[in-house]
Amino acid sequence: MGRYVLREYPPDWNLHAMASDYIAEEIEKIADMVGKTSHVRGDIQLFRFGKCTAHAGIITRWPVFVHCHKQAGHVQPGVLQNSEWSARTVSAWRLNVEKLGVFT
């Protein structure tokens, strides 16, 4: 079984006029969209910064998620309810074991 690795990208790609939804494109390869918000532990929440989706977090328990900023150098919690994060929410995704190839 191989390991899925996200494509490399420059840290400011989401600020350019021609920015694409790189993170959503990559997540779609391994997960299925489940709506804009999710309350299920383990789902991936995507957020908009700049011109496109540019950040992701993993739901731990509603309304808390964990995420990491490279500059911070560690994983930190965030809150999805009545916060800046809720205003930036784009979509929620659930890992798909068939797309991951876990059991193939």
Q: pLDDT tens digit string along 43-69? A: 999 998 877 888 899 999 989 999 987
The reported pLDDT for the residue numbered 21 is: 77
Q: How far is CA 42 from CA 16, 20, 39, 81, 96, in A?
A: 31, 25, 9, 17, 12
64: which 2 tokens? Answer: 């808390």
Under 8 Å between Cβ of 43 and 92: yes
Topology of domain 31-100 in CATH is endopeptidase fold (from Nostoc punctiforme) (3.90.1720)
- 15-51 residue pLDDT tens: 766 667 778 888 898 999 998 877 899 999 999 887 7
In three-state secondary structure terms, 81 is coil
Model's pTM, two decimal places?
A: 0.80
